[in-house]
Amino acid sequence: MEASKYHFFTDISVMLGRSMRHIFRSMDTIITVTLIPIAMMLLFVYVFGGAIQVGTDNYVNYLLPGILLMAIASGVSYTAYRLFTDVQRGILERFHTMPISRSALLWGHVLTSLVSNAISVVVIVLVALIMGFRSSAGVLPWLAVAGILALFTLALTWVAAIAGLSAKTVDGASAFSYPIIFLPFISSAFVPTESMPTGVRVFAENQPVTSIVESIRALLSGQPFNNDIWITLAWCIGIMLISYMFAMRAYKKRV
């Protein structure tokens, strides 16, 4: 049993290294995922920021959580693309003729998504600091923010895995991310929901992005935990578990 566990984690580390090498050989993936959210942040802070009333003079503090979620949603689309490419090239079948864990390839893609999106998040936060972002949060709130972003990344990555394993075309593999990328626009990520029409406000206040944004915003501003934290955890863990089950089912059909 111990030996099989050892080989399982060894196989995953090999597949993680394989996927990360692909990313570092084609840095345009991380650059694209990072630059577009940064451009959005610059646009909203320096062009639209003066016309948006959010109850604080430091609009970049208000904006940053939503920008981070947009970056992650954009980043996981590349997971679907890379997984789709492996399927089309017959990589799954080739690896499964070797003495390696059957699920190692899939987990390698998932962990690669976690690492690459973490890099993008760090870069965006550094740019936000240059733009004037400031936080009074201590170490524990920052760790809580990192945990929430990691859960959000894992949840969307397993959704991406379903798309990558089930899509018929490369466009179909990444198309799932478009609604997720634009979901922050119908939330409290850019403006308070109170300014929205009733129907839009009801949707905005009851979709996952708003609770996640509000949780991160509260943690970074040093506010005490509120109900948004538990709603956020429920959304992220629920989406992750459901998408994991469907992704594994799709993976088993492929192999």
- Tens digit of pLDDT for each residue in 151-170? 999 999 999 999 888 888 87
Q: Give residue 3's pLDDT.
A: 39
Under DSSP, the state recorded for 167 is: -
Query: CA-CA distance, 160 to 178, in Å (whole number)?
Result: 12
The two tokens of residue 127 are 């740019």
Taking the C-alpha atoms of residue 237 and residue 232, their distance in angstroms, rounded to an integer, is 8
Question: For residue 1, what pLDDT is reported?
Answer: 39
Closest to 243 (Cα-Cα) out of 145, 170, 176: 176
pLDDT of residue 4: 44
| b/e sequence 145-157, b meaning 16+ C-beta within 10 Å | beebbbbbbbbbb
Q: Residue 206 carries which side chain, given as an amino acid letter?
A: N
What pLDDT does 255 receive?
A: 65
pLDDT on residue 143: 93
Residue 93 confidence (pLDDT): 67
Stretches in the chain below the pLDDT threshold 50: 1-4
Predicted TM-score of the model (pTM): 0.88
- Give tens-digit pLDDT for 216-249: 999 998 887 778 889 999 999 999 999 999 998 8
